Chains A and B, each alone.
Chain A
């Protein structure tokens, strides 16, 4: 029995090792030869008549599906414009946060427009075009006791965060003295703020702005905290033709203030006009 088990594990390890080397080889041949690339070039997309764009189908108001089954939102508005200017049909592919990079690397989509934040780790895996939106952290607190700064913190006060969001590591690193209350979901964090368990709630600024807009008793004291991140379209690494076209397109869309129009069409109901300048990036120009 024992030897049998050993034999089995040996075979399994062998199979695993084989599959790994197989992956390695495939990658090498991808970059080495000029044969079959993982992505489609701009000409190939034009020729086929359809561009595959990966979007979120459940992130209102950036990419979502309305009650008639139509894709809507800030990212979708841009996607439709890209399709129109390229003269092709847009095929929307519903992606998840966890599989966006995989979709690009296997060439199953040509472009990702899924509220994709530019980070250094992701730059290793995919190529980002010029950004079209800003994101940062924001702090929301009750209107009668607005938290305007995180400096000189009273150690008795606690901050509310949702575990797994960027707020958590940022605060632990930059404000290690502030006690945090961590919640698992949006709903529980919201309840905690409403019950006064903490003095303020730190989350993506788009989230806190939307929250304050809905709940008049709360005010966004800090709308921009920490590093300013950007959201940009992404293409498969090395897909130069599509990347260059996207960059030119975003620059020329800046001339007609396209993203302001996009904001006014899709985001204004959620965020109001006062944050338009803060959130929109026009023509890829970050301030």
Chain B
């Protein structure tokens, strides 16, 4: 039989440690999502304004965050702020800052895209019906935009959960780091454990992300 080294998970507190690691990853992404989604929606609406100054500023912000690999952003926020300003951020705080900056930027562009994709005649018809600007957004534009936004933002959320695997580089011990620790601690006694443990991590990430995808699918069907 193929030896996956799964018995390693039953040693001591290994399985609990793995789950604790998963919780760290989920907690950081959850907090970041809760902060960055509303911010992203606001910024996305601002992005559709015709004002040249706001447009330029937001464009630079978006491009900057998008071009930078997340790992570089993490290093800048964690080590850079200590070097330049002497701030002592914890690894968790630094990760949340980076994920909020990144999530907000990506979300705002998604919102902008969704708003822009609503055909112009929808606005014109609302105006012809005598609706105010607020009413137009409340009853016509936002319901349509939200529907277009759901699959895109779910994709973003799952991406944020998966990208937490990078925060081990700034000393946060999350699920992937715990799994590396377990594999290495048992390198001699069960050299095959890597496969079994990474498989377990895969299943854990899947369990974490799958309900979110299901929710998205449900909402999409319901609002069709």
Interface string of B176-218 (1 = CB under 8 A from A): 0100111111111000000000000000000000000000000
Nearest opposing residue in chain B for A61, CB measure: B188
Nearest opposing residue in chain A for B59, CB measure: A8
* A residues in contact with B177, CB < 8 Å: 57-58, 94
Q: Is B185's CB under 8 angstroms from A60's CB?
A: yes
Q: In the complex where A58-B183, A66-B12 touch, is A98 in contact with B188 (Cβ < 8 A)?
A: no
A94 to B14, CA, bound (A): 17
A36 to B85, CA, bound (A): 11
Interface-centre pick from B56, B84, B169, B184 (highest chain A CB count, 10 A): B184
Q: In the complex where A67-B12, A94-B173, A96-B169 touch, is A102 in contact with B79 (Cβ < 8 A)?
A: yes
A54 to B6, CA, bound (A): 30
Across the interface, B82 reaches (CB within 8 A) one of A58, A94, A108, A214, namely A108
Q: Is A95's CB under 8 angstroms from B184's CB?
A: no
A194 to B11, CA, bound (A): 30
Q: In the complex where A57-B177, A58-B180 touch, is A67 in contact with B13 (Cβ < 8 A)?
A: yes
Interface string of A185-217 (1 = CB under 8 A from B): 000000000000000000000000010001000
Query: Number of contacting residues on A, CB 8 A?
Result: 37
B83 at the interface (CB under 8 A from A): yes
Where chain B touches its partner, the secondary structure class is: helix
> How distant is B85 from chain A, measured CB to nearest CB, in Å?
8
* B residues in contact with A67, CB < 8 Å: 11-14, 182, 185
A22 at the interface (CB under 8 A from B): yes
Q: In the complex where A57-B177, A69-B17, A106-B79 touch, is A64 in contact with B185 (Cβ < 8 A)?
A: yes
Q: Is A68's CB under 8 angstroms from B13's CB?
A: yes
A160 to B173, CA, bound (A): 34
* B residues in contact with A94, CB < 8 Å: 168, 171, 173, 177
Give 22 pairs: A residue, B residue, CB < 8 Å, sorted on A: A12-B64, A23-B84, A27-B83, A36-B86, A38-B83, A57-B181, A60-B184, A64-B181, A64-B184, A64-B185, A65-B185, A67-B14, A67-B185, A68-B13, A93-B171, A94-B171, A94-B173, A95-B171, A98-B169, A102-B79, A105-B79, A105-B83
